[in-house]
Structure 1
Amino acid sequence: MFWLVQLLVPIGVAVVLPITIVAIVFKSALASERNRKEIVLAVLEKNPDIDVEQLMKNLKKSEKLIKEKLLAKLQRGCLCCLMGVAFMLLYFFLGVQNESFIIVVGAALIAIGIAFLISYFVGRRMLAQEMEAEQQNMKQE
């Protein structure tokens, strides 16, 4: 019986969980699109003279600014690094040496955090001109 659990848990985590997450995200996107279509149809029924292009533009989700995307990477990088350090401290100072996966998780989180931080700093340098142009467009509007 124990061997069955050892077989099914990794399969569930590696196969079923990602498929379920993708299905939920896909269904959510479809429902959002369906709701947007229903709103447009309802508005057109009540007011047929409305400009459809302007309505669709108003209903469109606002995209995040480049600066906001970069700051999100900085935040994720700091969070992952801190979580990785916390796992390392948990491993070394609280005496949980029999749980060796904690050190692996800590190292992986630190690596992911460093990748986010590198992405932030490189992106900030490469996209400086685009961020300035974006700020100028925001001021003009």
Structure 2
Amino acid sequence: MAVVLPITIVAIVFKSALASERNRKEIILAALEKDPNLDVEDLVKRMKKSEKLIKEKLLARLEHGCLCCLMGVAFVLLYFFLSVQKEILIIAGAALIAIGIAFLVSYFVGRRMLEKEMEAEEQNMKQE
């Protein structure tokens, strides 16, 4: 089970990616058959899956950081106030708080470092 399941998951993901690329190729070929003067680069750009913007990625880090910190604080409070003396709660709480702080630091540092890139990305979005 520990060997077959990961191999199966990788095979399924790989096959779905190949099928997706095959479908994209067929769509492009069909469009070229109907209109030979079609701009292929523009068609490929429009068919491209939209990637998350830098701002969206940073906001996801902020969200994950806040959620991890809140869950960590909740675990620590459970340990102290409900007299549930399971050491796993304090360990999990401290780990979640540390992960949350890492996400928050990543957000604030990334926001400062990528400020110019976010502005350029917004300008590109306005032009399109």
Q: TM-score, normalised by structure 1?
A: 0.72
Return the alpha-carbon distance in structure 2 between the equivalents of residues 116 and 139 of structure 1: 29
1:4 corresponds to:
none
1:92 corresponds to:
80
Return the alpha-carbon distance in structure 2 between the equivalents of residues 140 and 78 of structure 1: 34
Give a deviation string over 1:79-118, Cα, whole Å, max 9, x none.
Answer: 1111111222222222321x32222222111111110100
Return the alpha-carbon distance in structure 2 between the equivalents of residues 108 and 16 of structure 1: 31
Which amino acid in structure 2 is aligned with residue 127 of structure 1?
L
2:105 corresponds to:
118
**Superposition CA RMSD, Å:** 2.7
Give a deviation string over 1:98-141, Cα, whole Å, max 9, x none.
Answer: x3222222211111111010000001111111112222222223
Return the alpha-carbon distance in structure 1 between the equivalents of residues 16 and 88 of structure 2: 34
Q: 1:46 to 1:69 in 2, by over 3 A?
A: same
Comparing 88-97 with 25-34, which one deviates more in the overlay?
25-34
1:5 corresponds to:
none
Pairs within 5 Å for 1:60-139: 60-97=48-85, 99-139=86-126
Sequence identity, in percent? 76
Structure 1: gaps (5+ residues): 1-7
| Secondary structure of 1:64's aligned partner | coil
1:53 corresponds to:
41
Structure 2: gaps (5+ residues): none
Return the alpha-carbon distance in structure 2 between the equivalents of residues 104 and 37 of structure 1: 51
Give the aligned length: 127
Give a deviation string over 1:24-46, Cα, whole Å, max 9, x none.
Answer: 55444334333323333443444
Q: TM-score, normalised by structure 2?
A: 0.78
Comparing 110-119 with 126-135, which one deviates more in the overlay?
126-135
